[in-house]
């Protein structure tokens, strides 16, 4: 009998399903990611929600059951129906669980009702999170956060605002994913004439990037010095960005969701409306595409393995900028 104790036939067993979900989420999540525990929890919650509504043995579930569940999914916050993209994601998680049961969970001949009931896939990045901010929106957002940075709280610098401003500058300057920034350790950040960051990308590989912009450097130094002034000691094993609550000093790495929630608050104050952290990456891609004029250069900046992925980030790439003619032609005697 398998560790999760599910049989190909039998009655619903909530404990066995929960055990199987935990094993599936662990097996299908990159454990090197800082947010791997959060990702595993989210995956389990989505699929568990199905079996809470449809308390059936996995072998007894039909495509009709899956379709009925998906059509009735609502947002936990406002109770509104989930978007097509969110429903597709939820059913895809359920389908992944069934595929794991068949491939690794000892239920080789188990049909996959979720695969049969999965709705039509949304267009790539056709979600609110995929939109890029306008230049005016970015400026309004920066101004709003900077206002909080410059405002004292009980006579002391607002460390949360300074932290968020530094993180926002990193997001905009390099388009790094939120997990890459939130998981930075002090030893990963080298500040001399420019900023050099070392972090893990989505696939878990180490990436090093230089940032020459002096505004990013100034924001990081301001945050570090302000923390030190309030008693924080940085070591090579210290997280760069930590939680600051009620004026207390913590050495606990920030949860990337905390920055995401604060970003929404800043955006509302700036009159932008609801935004998502990933929109900052799309904003970087848009501006980089306009400035560099090269799909290949933007692909390299975003660490995409495929240009097809980069292409969906960009509505268009402008005229390719001339980066080589002067260097090439300098080797030859010019004709009049």
Three-state SS string over 56-122 comes to: CCHHHCCHHHHHHHHHCCECCCCCCECCHHHHHHHHHHHHHHHHHHHHCCCCCCCCCHHHHHCCCCC
Assess if residue 241 is contained within a domain: yes
In a domain, 113, yes or no: yes
C-alpha–C-alpha distance, residues 268 and 311, integer Å? 30
The whole-angstrom separation of Cα 42 and Cα 246 is 28
Whether residue 150 lies inside any domain: the answer is: yes
> Beta-carbon neighbour count of residue 98 at 10 Å?
22
pLDDT tens per residue across span 173-198:
889 888 889 989 999 999 999 999 99
Closest C-alpha to 140, from 311, 267, 240: 267
* Residues 135 and 117 occupy one common structural domain: no
Describe the chain by its helix, strand, coil percentages, rounded to 5: 50, 5, 40
- In a shared domain, residues 138 and 272: yes
Q: The domain containing residue 216 runs over which residues?
A: 131-276
97 and 151 in a single domain? The answer is: no
pTM for this predicted structure: 0.63
Residue ranges for the chain with pLDDT beneath 70: 1-5, 7-10, 32-35, 77, 121-130, 246-249, 312, 315-326, 328-329, 331-336
Say if 182 falls within a structural domain: yes
Q: Is residue 137 classed as helix, strand or coil in its secondary structure?
A: helix
CATH for 182: 1.10.443.10
Are 222 and 248 found together in one domain? yes
Residues 6 or more apart whose Cβ sits within 8 Å of residue 68: none
- Contact of 237 with 247, CB cutoff 8 Å: no
CA distance 268 to 317: 30
Note whether residue 168 is domain-resident: yes
Task: Verify that 112 and 151 share a domain, yes or no.
Answer: no
The answer to whether 239 and 227 are in contact (CB under 8 A) is no
- Give the burial class of 127: count Cβ atoms within 10 A of its Cβ; 0-12 exposed, 13-18 middle, 19 or more buried: middle
Q: How far apart are CA 174 and CA 35, in angstroms?
A: 20
Q: Are residues 66 and 201 in the same domain?
A: no
**140 and 89 belong to one structural domain:** no
Same domain assignment for residues 171 and 227: yes
Same domain assignment for residues 203 and 263: yes
Burial 101-117 (b: 16+ CB within 10 A, else e): bbeebbbeebebbbbeb
Grouping H, G, I as helix, E, B as strand and the rest as coil, residue 239 is strand
202-260: pLDDT as tens digits:
777 788 989 999 999 999 999 999 999 988 989 988 999 998 875 556 778 888 788 99
Q: Which has the closest alpha carbon to 259: 180, 163, 177?
A: 163
Cβ-in-10-Å burial (0-12, 13-18, 19+) of 120 comes to: exposed
**Looking at the structure, do residues 172 and 266 belong to the same domain, yes or no?**
yes
Count CB neighbours of 25 within 10 A: 24
At residue 1, the pLDDT reads: 37
Residues 202 and 32: their CA atoms lie apart, in Å, by: 9
Identify the pLDDT of residue 299.
80
| Burial (Cβ within 10 Å: 0-12, 13-18, ≥19) of residue 162 | buried
Q: 141 lies in a domain?
A: yes
Last residue of a domain, one of 102, 122, 142: 122
Q: Looking at the domain assignment, is residue 137 inside a domain?
A: yes
C-alpha to C-alpha distance for 10 and 80, rounded to whole angstroms: 35
d(CA 199, CA 304): 15
Torsion of CA 40, 115, 127, 142, to 10 degrees: 10
Question: Do residues 77 and 197 both lie within one domain?
Answer: no
Total number of domains in the chain: 2
Domain assignment of residue 313, yes or no: no
* φ and ψ at residue 189, rounded to 5 degrees: -115, 115
Together in a domain, 115 and 136: no
The residue among 122, 156, 180 that closes a domain is 122
Token pair, residue 102, equals 């068949």
User: Which of 104, 122, 140 is where one domain is finished?
Assistant: 122
Q: How far apart are CA 22 and CA 6, in angstroms?
A: 13
């Amino acid at each position: 009998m398998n560790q999760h104790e599910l049989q190909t036939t039998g009655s619903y067993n909530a404990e066995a399903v929960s055990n199987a979900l935990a094993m599936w989420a662990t097996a299908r999540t990159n454990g090197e990611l800082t947010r791997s525990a959060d990702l595993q929890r989210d995956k389990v919650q989505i699929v568990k929600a199905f079996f809470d509504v449809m308390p059936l043995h996995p072998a007894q579930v039909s495509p009709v059951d899956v379709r009925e569940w998906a059509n009735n999914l609502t947002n936990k916050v406002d109770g509104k129906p989930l978007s097509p993209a969110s429903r597709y994601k939820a059913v895809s998680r359920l389908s992944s669980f069934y595929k794991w049961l068949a491939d690794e969970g000892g239920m080789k001949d188990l049909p996959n009702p979720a695969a049969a009931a999965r709705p039509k896939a949304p267009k790539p990045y056709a979600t609110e999170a995929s939109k890029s901010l306008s230049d005016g929106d970015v400026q309004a957002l920066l101004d709003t956060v900077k206002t909080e940075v410059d405002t004292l709280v009980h006579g002391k610098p607002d460390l949360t605002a300074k932290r968020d401003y530094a993180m926002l500058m990193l997001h905009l300057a390099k388009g790094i994913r939120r997990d890459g920034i939130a998981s930075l350790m002090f030893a990963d950040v080298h500040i001399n004439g420019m900023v050099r960051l070392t972090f893990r990308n989505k696939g878990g590989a180490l990436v090093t990037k230089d940032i020459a912009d002096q505004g990013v450097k100034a924001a990081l130094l301001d945050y570090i010095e302000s923390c030190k002034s309030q008693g924080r000691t940085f070591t090579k094993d210290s997280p760069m960005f930590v939680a600051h609550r009620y004026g207390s000093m913590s050495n606990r790495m920030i949860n990337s969701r905390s920055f995401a929630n604060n970003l929404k608050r800043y955006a509302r104050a700036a009159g932008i409306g609801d935004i998502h952290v990933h929109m900052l990456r799309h904003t970087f891609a848009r501006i980089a595409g306009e400035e560099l004029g090269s799909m290949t250069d933007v692909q390299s900046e975003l660490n995409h393995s495929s240009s097809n992925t980069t292409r969906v980030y960009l509505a268009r790439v402008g005229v390719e900028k001339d980066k080589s003619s002067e260097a090439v032609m300098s080797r030859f005697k010019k004709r009049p």
